[in-house]
């Protein structure tokens, strides 16, 4: 009986040891899987961190923005994100990631002209809009800025298709835009719809800093099994599942994130200081023509204002829709702040 009891105890201890060994092996495998996942996610997060110019506050705010867009797609975020950098930095990779997460049928890649085009068939087809190449165009920028106001903050939009009457559509959009120009459009002092971030480093500076010539190939290999063929057939669905899980479980920091207010970055302040209002652009166009009073070396705000009134009431349709609400103090401000001209008193430059 004693021998049988001892044999049973030995067998039980052997089973416990086997279970512990199996659990240990399983734990090691689970840790390895977690480590593998972390490597994928960490590579993505590292790129997003650099995309916010390595600013910890902007980085955390960016992650909270992405997470909120994923967790609460029905919420209307009434501001856009605009990233400005040198060409070739890698902004497009992030937009590809967002497109795959949101779905191609729910995402539209637009040219900036599509925003103010007469026929905007894209309006009822998506909830995410990406403009990858935002360029400063003084001829159309006023239209772009004006149309963006209602698209970003409003939920009722009218669109027209060819040979069809206008249709009213209810919905809202999340805008992500990028530009190779650090002043992509004009913004007035009250501008609150655009969260603008400047990425100071160039592509070469990034590669030098990370000391990895294969940085971009490794980044694209996260999204596509064959980074040289970034097509939908080569999507890395396993990585997308990890990213989806990461942002669906990300704890949004509501102390810094708001649906109605975006951060006031230095890049945005610079844009406001350097941007030109529509009246200032119209004045510059008038100056370049060299007509009276700009046909002389010296002129006053009063003489310019007089010329503006003549043009607006002279029957020329070209000038009828220009210089709305222009005041003399705006002309003086344009002299000083935009054109960098100086006052003259008694023949002396002050």
pLDDT > 70 fraction of the chain, expressed in percent and rounded: 83
Look at residue 291 in the predicted model and tell me its pLDDT: 81
pLDDT for the residue 123: 94
* Band of residue 36 on the pLDDT scale cut at 50, 70, 90: very low
Average pLDDT, the chain: 83
Residue 174 confidence class, pLDDT cut points 50, 70, 90: very high
Give a three-class secondary structure readout of 97-155. Answer: HHHHHHCHHHEEECCCHHHHCCECCCHHHCCEEEECCCCCCCCCHHHHHHHHHHHHHCC
The confidence score (pLDDT) of residue 31 equals 39
In the chain, what percentage of residues exceed pLDDT 90? 47
pLDDT in tens, 210-268: 999 999 999 999 999 988 888 888 999 999 999 999 999 999 999 999 999 998 877 66
**Residues pairing with 83 in the sheet:** 178, 197
Model pLDDT for residues 52-104, shown as the tens digit of each residue: 999 999 999 999 999 999 999 999 999 999 999 999 999 999 999 999 999 99
| Sign of the alpha-carbon dihedral angle for 124, 99, 268, 256 | positive
Looking at residue 25, its pLDDT comes to 39
Q: Is the pLDDT of residue 28 over 50?
A: no
Looking at residues 16-33, what average pLDDT do you find?
A: 40
Question: Cα–Cα distance between 144 and 166 in angstroms, integer?
Answer: 20
pLDDT band at 11 (very low <50, low <70, confident <90, very high): low
């Amino acid at each position: 009986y004693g021998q049988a009891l001892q044999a049973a105890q030995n067998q039980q201890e052997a089973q416990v040891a086997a279970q512990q060994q199996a659990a240990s092996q399983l734990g090691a495998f689970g840790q390895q899987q977690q480590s593998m996942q972390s490597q994928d996610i960490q590579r993505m997060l590292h790129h997003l961190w650099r995309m916010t110019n390595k600013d910890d506050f902007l980085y955390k705010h960016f992650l909270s923005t992405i997470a909120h867009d994923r967790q609460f797609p029905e919420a209307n975020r009434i501001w856009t994100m605009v990233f400005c950098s040198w060409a070739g930095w890698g902004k497009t990779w992030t937009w590809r990631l967002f497109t795959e997460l949101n779905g191609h049928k729910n995402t539209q890649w637009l040219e900036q002209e599509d925003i103010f085009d007469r026929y905007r068939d894209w309006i009822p087809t998506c909830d995410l809009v990406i403009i990858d190449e935002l360029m400063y165009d003084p001829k159309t920028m006023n239209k772009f800025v004006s149309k963006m106001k209602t698209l970003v903050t409003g939920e009722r939009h009218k669109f027209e298709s060819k040979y069809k009457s206008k249709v009213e559509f209810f919905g809202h959009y999340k805008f992500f835009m990028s530009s190779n120009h650090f002043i992509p459009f004009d913004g007035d002092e009250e501008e609150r719809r655009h969260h603008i971030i400047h990425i100071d480093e160039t592509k070469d500076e990034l590669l030098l800093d990370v000391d990895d010539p294969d940085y971009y190939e490794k980044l694209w290999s996260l999204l596509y099994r064959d980074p040289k063929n970034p097509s939908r057939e080569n999507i890395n669905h396993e990585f997308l599942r990890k990213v989806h899980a990461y942002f669906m479980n990300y704890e949004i920091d509501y102390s810094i994130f708001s649906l109605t207010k975006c951060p006031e970055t230095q890049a945005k302040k610079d844009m406001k200081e350097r941007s030109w209002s529509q009246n200032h652009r119209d004045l510059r166009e008038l100056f370049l023509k060299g007509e009276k009073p700009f046909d002389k070396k010296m002129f006053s705000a009063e003489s310019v204002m007089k010329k503006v009134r003549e043009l607006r009431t002279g029957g020329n349709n070209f000038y009828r829709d220009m210089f709305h609400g222009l005041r003399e103090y705006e002309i003086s401000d344009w002299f000083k702040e935009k054109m960098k001209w100086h006052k003259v008193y008694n023949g002396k430059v002050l």
